[in-house]
Chain A
Amino acid sequence: MNPRKLRACFLLLALIGLLAAFFPSWRDRPVTSLDEEGFAQGCTVIMVGKGASTDGSTIATHTCDCGTCDWTWRHVPAADHKPGEMRRIYHINQYKTWPPEEGLKWDLYKRDFTGLEIPEVPHTYAYHHGMFGYMNDQQLAIGESTIGCVRKLHNPTPTPAFDITMLTLIAMERCRTAREAIQLMGSLAEKYGYGYNDHGEMLAVHDPNEVWVFEIVPVGPLWTPQSGKPGAVWCAQRVPDDHVSVCPNESRIGEIDLSNKDYFMASEHVVSFAIEQGLYDPGSGKPFSWKRAYSPAEGSATSTNGRRARMWRFFNIVAPSLKLSPETPNMDYPFSVKPDRKISVQDVMNMTRDRAQGTPFDRVKGMRGGPFGNPNYYATTRTICTPSVEYTTVTQCRGWLPAPIGGIVWLCFGLQDTSCYMPLYAGITDVPDSFKIGDHWIFNRESARWAFDYVDFHTQVVYSYALEEVKKAQAEWEAKTVAGIGEIDKQALERYNRSVEEGIGYLTGYCLTHADRVVKAWWKLGDDLLVKFNKISYYDPEKRTRDRNKPVYPDWWKKAIQIYDILLEPPEK
């Protein structure tokens, strides 16, 4: 062999060996199993019972992780209905989007009328509507996570009238409590069928007193309304008041005790249907487990090289004293735990920003993040904070206040680590105009989401430096708001006690004005980041200087470049 080629081969092998030795995950790259493919990589729900939160509120999240979905929001007003009025049911696809010039998703999905109309109720509650219904003016709140289910139970035919989005909207319109919502969604799904756009789904359904995990799956494509059989099977378990729980796209309900009505609810055929479908063998001697029957997801954080690390990571954050192992199969994790310390709404917001920093699943471990520790470069781990997020909700219900003041949807657009949570009280009668528009494909300065993407984009090149600037803005616009929300509550309550309209008007004005100020601040922050880190240097606008020594490239990065150069140096040199 030509000595040059021989040397080149040797260097190539040496490089491969070096990379394999330095970065074990390259060797251990996950072998995608069939089960892995079916595993959803979407939204994360975190739940906090009222006895586990610092202020007695119940809390849940929905990280709306999609990447191409509609992020727009609207407010649906309360309404009174005459006897005989009917409510049309639509097929609503979580993922479907339309070009902005065609209109808003919330009007356009009406093209997909299922043909089903159900009798209206005399009064429907007002609610905030994003991809799902999130919170109504009674402090009923919802977060969502796709959990998947046994494939033969999928029902992608248009026969079932309900999908998960439509169920949440009806729950918002008609229910005051989590229990009411679960019973209503379950019964509608059983009667009219569930599936089409969705299969296994989980909802965190909470009110000021209780947090419930509601899980639902279709019953296969051969179901018809005329069969007389339920068109869905569902189960719900309450998170104990002093506990916290999580749903990272995996079913969380295991063994169930339907005699304990304070903690469990389910469709009547929950066990018999599993037996009928061959998903549970009562003769096995093992108790019935909802998740093992309907939505089994084998694997652990370790066995999946971090693809399913969110389960472990959540419990690792909230209850490190339990020392739960990342090797523990996710299906063996507890349904809920008592946290080592009580959790605040700010803690929950921070959890949504988690990138598994300092853990074996750190997204910037080794060279992954580049010289400036960017967790978005090479994603080997699925963390709670992930670039596909459209927006995140942290819904908070506070029973000591009237519902319109007690309920808050804390909303942040785009990636949580570079974004800012803004409050939308349950009782407000509008959402900011900038929240109502925009899509992924056309840059729009009128759309709030783009302001946050604008900042995020300008953090990518020198992430570790730029993030410090973002944190300052978050401290100003988010942390201060969270800390000062009690004063807003007080001001609103005083007015509300004088006149409901006055209280609601005050809150609406506050939320719209505050959101407007935050969005403007983020546009400016994006501009400032562009100026400051232009040409990957550090420009100080106040001193009008350029510091060529900043940002500082770490030594390991410089060494890595030298090693790479030596390995690939042309033989003739």
Chain B
Amino acid sequence: MEKGEEGKMKKMTTSFFVVVFLCLFFVPASAQKAIPKAKLPVLTTSAGQSNDVMTVNIVLEEAGIGFDYCDVPDVDLLKAGVGLADKESGPGFHVEVYTDFSKFPKGTPYQTVIFAIGASLKGMGASGLTVDTEAARLKRLIDYCKQNKIFIIAVHVGGMALRGAPGSDNERMIDAVAPFADYLIVTKESNKDGRFTTIAKAKNTPLTEVDYALDLVEIMKQVFK
């Protein structure tokens, strides 16, 4: 081998190892920050019936993204698609429909579901749910999403103070949704203990940390661009 070629090989080898090194050490980190793409139409719902889902709805509204919302949908309603089968709100059951029917006629299957994680005993009580029944409902929804390739976004904006101890209601809601999400968005305050980072790494799920709920507006714009 000529000297020049030898030099080239050395450079290539060095470059290869540099790339491998970068992949090993930096790709997971960058993957955590990468913002994936999702498709419309989108349904928002709560995992735990806290007020956090209203934050998500306000974020989408601010981002100019039409959405449908139901606090306690089950698989039948998810299957019904856009318009949520014209269901009307009633005691312990809330529906709001803001999807643009000219783009997504009624009945169009949802391509994305956003779960706002946050347990509220008061909220679950108002909807006639317990932590167990709420966890079971979430499992049914997530199973359906997985079977039908519906993109799952899990959002936690509640902060550490609402997280609770291991086994708490809120932690159970995290367990029910976060490991199955295709994309995790959490406030830094919610992830002080690295709980969501651990889940994201274990499942190789993109994770975005934000300072404020306001930051979600730009993220949602990019996700649904």
Q: A interface vs B, CB < 8 Å?
A: 31-32, 34, 37, 91, 93, 112, 151-152, 154, 156-159, 196-197, 220-224
Contact = CB atoms under 8 A, between A and B. Distances in A.
B217 interface: yes
Contact of A158 (B58, B92, B94, B189): B189
B100 to A, nearest CB: 21
B189 A154 contact: no
B169 to A, nearest CB: 12
A157 B212 CA distance: 8
B206 interface: no
Given A157-B158, A159-B212, 4 more contacts: A37-B126, A157-B157, A221-B213, A222-B214
B91 A37 contact: yes
B55 interface: yes
Contact of A221 (B91, B126, B157, B189): B157
A285 B62 CA distance: 29
Given A37-B92, A221-B213, A222-B59, A152 B161 contact: no
Contacts of B217: 222
A156 B155 CA distance: 13
Interface string B176-208: 000000000001011000000000000000000
Given A93-B161, A158-B158, A158-B160, A34 B187 contact: no
6 contacts: A91-B159, A152-B58, A196-B161, A222-B62, A223-B214, A224-B212
Contact of A151 (B54, B89, B211, B213): B54
Q: How would you classify the secondary structure of chain A's contact residues: helix, strand, loop or mixed?
A: loop
A31 B91 CA distance: 8
B81 interface: no
Contact of B159 (A31, A34, A196, A222): A196
A376 B161 CA distance: 34
Contacts of A152: 54, 58
A158 B50 contact: no
A156 B161 contact: no
A188 B213 CA distance: 21
B135 to A, nearest CB: 21
A23 B157 CA distance: 47
A157 B89 contact: no
B161 A220 contact: no
A241 to B, nearest CB: 38
A391 B13 CA distance: 75
Contact of B55 (A32, A91, A156, A224): A156
Contacts of A93: 161-162
Nearest to A33: B91
A172 B114 CA distance: 42
A521 to B, nearest CB: 36
B52 interface: yes
Interface in B142-171: 157-162
B200 to A, nearest CB: 20
A158 B160 CA distance: 8
A32 B161 contact: no
Contact of B157 (A34, A156, A197, A220): A156
B51 A158 contact: no
Interface of B: 50-52, 54-55, 58-59, 62, 89, 91-92, 94, 118, 126, 157-162, 187, 189-190, 211-214, 217
Given A34-B89, A221-B58, A159 B213 contact: yes
B187 to A, nearest CB: 7
A157 B62 CA distance: 16
Nearest to A227: B214
B159 A158 contact: yes
Nearest to A220: B58
Contacts of A37: 91-92, 126
Interchain residue pairs A-B with the least CB separation, the first 10:
A158-B159, A112-B161, A221-B55, A32-B91, A91-B161, A158-B189, A156-B51, A222-B214, A221-B213, A157-B213
Contacts of A31: 91
A287 B158 CA distance: 37
Contacts of A196: 159, 161
Nearest to B118: A156
A271 B89 CA distance: 31
A222 B58 contact: yes
A158 B187 contact: yes
Nearest to A199: B51
A111 to B, nearest CB: 8
Contacts of A221: 54-55, 58-59, 157, 213
B50 to A, nearest CB: 7
Contacts of A32: 91
Nearest to B120: A156
B187 A156 contact: no
A156 B50 contact: yes
B214 A224 contact: yes
- Residue of A158, A220, A224 most packed against chain B (CB within 10 A): A158
Contacts of A220: 58
B92 A156 contact: no
Contacts of A34: 89, 94
A32 B211 CA distance: 38
A224 B211 CA distance: 9
Contact of A156 (B59, B62, B158): B158
Nearest to B126: A37
Contacts of A154: 51, 54
A224 B62 CA distance: 15
Contacts of B162: 93, 156, 158
Contact of B187 (A91, A157, A222, A223): A157
A28 B51 CA distance: 30
Nearest to A223: B214
A330 B190 CA distance: 40
A32 B50 CA distance: 19
A156 B52 contact: yes
B159 A157 contact: yes
A32 B79 CA distance: 28
Nearest to B215: A224
Contacts of A151: 51, 54
Nearest to A197: B161
A37 to B, nearest CB: 5
A529 to B, nearest CB: 32
Contacts of B157: 156-158, 221
A158 B91 contact: no
Contacts of B91: 31-32, 37
B128 to A, nearest CB: 11
A158 B157 CA distance: 8
A456 to B, nearest CB: 24
